[in-house]
Amino acid sequence: MRTYILFRVLQTIPVLIGISFVVFALLLYSPGDPAVINLRAIMNTEHPPEEAVAAMRIEMNLDKPWYIQYWSWLARVSTGDLGYSYQSRRSTVEEVGNAFPVTFLLSTLAMFFSCIVAIPLGILSGMRQNSCIDHITRAVSIIGLSIPDFFIGIIGIMVFAVYLNWVPVAGYEGFEYLILPAIALAVGMCAITIRLMRTSMAEVLEEDYIRTAKSKGISQRLVVQRHALKNAIIPVITYMGTQYGWLFGGSMIIESLFAIPGLGRLFVESASTRDIMVLQGCVLVFALVFVFLNLGVDILQYILDPRVRQEYE
Amino acid sequence: MAKLLTFFCLVLLLFCNTMVLAEGGGKTLDIAAPWDAKTTDPHVNGAIAQRMGVTETLVDINDEALISPGLATSWDVSGDQKTWTFHLRDGVKFHDGTPFTAQAMKKSLEDSLKKSQTFSSVPIQEIQAVDDKTLKIVLKSSFPSLPAYMAKGESAALSEASIDQGDISIPYSTGPFKFSSYTPKEKYVGVKNPDYWGKIPSVDEVVYHVVPEAETRSMMLKGGDVQIAQILSPDITEGYKSSGSFTINTEPISRDRILSYNCESGPFADTAVRKAMNYAINRQDLINYVLEGVGESATSLFPPTFYWGNKDIKAYPYDPEKAKSMLAEAGWKDSNNDGILDKDGKKFSITLVTYPERAELPQMAEIIQDELKKIGIDVQVKSVDIDTSETLKNSGDFDMYLGGRSLMNAPDPDWILMADYHSSGTFNNGYGPYHWKSEKLDSLLGEARSLTDQAARKKIYDQVQEIINDEAPVSVLSYYVNQDVTSNSVKGYRMHPTEFAFHLEDVSLS
| pLDDT tens-digit map of A117-151 | 988 898 888 888 888 888 988 888 888 888 888 88
Q: Which distant-in-sequence residues (6+ apart) come within 8 Å of B473 by Cβ?
A: B260, B261, B263, B274, B421, B426, B432, B433, B436, B438
Among the partner-chain residues A44, A154, A176, the one whose CB lies closest to the CB of B117 is A44
pLDDT at B129 over 60: yes
Query: For residues A302 and B456, which has the higher predicted lDDT (pLDDT)?
Result: B456
d(CA B291, CA A169): 27
Find the mean pLDDT for residues A251-275. Answer: 86
Residue B440: strand, helix, or coil: helix
A90 close to A98: Cβ distance less than 8 angstroms:
no
pLDDT of residue A43: 61
Alpha carbon dihedral A129, A134, A138, A144, in 10-degree steps, equals -140
- CA neighbours within 13 Å on the CB side: how many for A90? 19
Contact B225 A169 (CB under 8 A): yes
Q: What is the ipTM of this complex?
A: 0.74
- Which chain A residues contact residue B219 at CB under 8 A? 154, 157-158, 161-162, 169-170
Residue B221: strand, helix, or coil: helix
pLDDT of residue B21: 39
d(CA A153, CA B507): 32
pLDDT of residue B375: 95
Q: How far is A172 from chain B (nearest CA, A)?
A: 7
Q: How far is A6 from chain B (nearest CA, A)?
A: 37
d(CA A42, CA B478): 38
pLDDT at B1 over 70: no
Contact B216 A31 (CB under 8 A): no
Find the mean pLDDT for residues A227-251. Answer: 81
DSSP secondary structure string, A50-118?
A: HHHHHHHHHHTTTTS-HHHHHHHHHHHHHTT---B-TTT-SBHHHHHHHHHHHHHHHHHHHHHHHHHHH
pLDDT of residue A184: 92
pLDDT of residue B13: 43
Contact A174 B22 (CB under 8 A): yes
How many residues belong to chain A?
Answer: 313
**pLDDT tens column, B68-100:** 999 999 999 999 989 999 999 999 999 999 999
Contact A175 B15 (CB under 8 A): yes
**pLDDT tens column, B230-251:** 989 888 998 899 888 999 999 8
pLDDT at B19 over 50: no
What confidence tier does B261 reach under pLDDT thresholds 50, 70, 90? very high
pLDDT at A253 over 90: no
Nearest CA in chain A to B213: A257
Q: How far is A46 from chain B (nearest CA, A)?
A: 6
Least confident residue range of A204-208, B117-121, B176-180, B401-405: B117-121
Topology of A99-275 in CATH? MetI-like fold (1.10.3720)
Q: Which distant-in-sequence residues (6+ apart) come within 8 Å of A171 by Cβ?
A: A177, A258, A259, A260, B186, B187, B209, B211, B220, B225
Straight-line distance from the first to the last Cα atom of chain A, in angstroms, rounded to the nearest whole number: 8
**pLDDT tens column, B379-399:** 999 998 776 788 888 889 999
| Burial (0-12, 13-18, 19+ Cβ within 10 Å), B155 | buried
pLDDT of residue B7: 52
Q: So where are chain A's domains?
A: 99-275
Helical ranges in A128-228 per DSSP H? 132-146, 149-156, 179-205, 208-215, 220-223
- Which chain A residues contact residue B186 at CB under 8 A? 171-173, 259, 261
d(CA B251, CA B230): 11
Contact A166 B16 (CB under 8 A): yes
- CA neighbours within 13 Å on the CB side: how many for B421? 30
What confidence tier does A90 reach under pLDDT thresholds 50, 70, 90? confident
- Maximum average pLDDT range among A198-202, B319-323, B403-407: B319-323
Among the partner-chain residues A31, A89, A170, the one whose CB lies closest to the CB of B391 is A31
B177 close to B191: Cβ distance less than 8 angstroms:
yes
Q: What is the largest CA-CA distance in chain B?
A: 86
Q: How far is B223 from chain A (nearest CA, A)?
A: 4
Residues on A contacting B at a C-beta cutoff of 8 Å: 31-32, 44-47, 87-90, 98, 113, 116, 120, 124, 154, 157-158, 161-162, 165-176, 179, 256-259, 261, 265-266, 269, 272, 274
d(CA A122, CA A193): 7
d(CA A77, CA A20): 10
pLDDT of residue B349: 96
pLDDT of residue A13: 86
Task: Tell me phi and psi for residue B136, to 5 degrees.
Answer: -115, 135
pLDDT at B463 over 60: yes
Query: For residues A254 and B117, which has the higher predicted lDDT (pLDDT)?
Result: A254
- Which chain B residues contact residue A162 at CB under 8 A? 219, 222-223
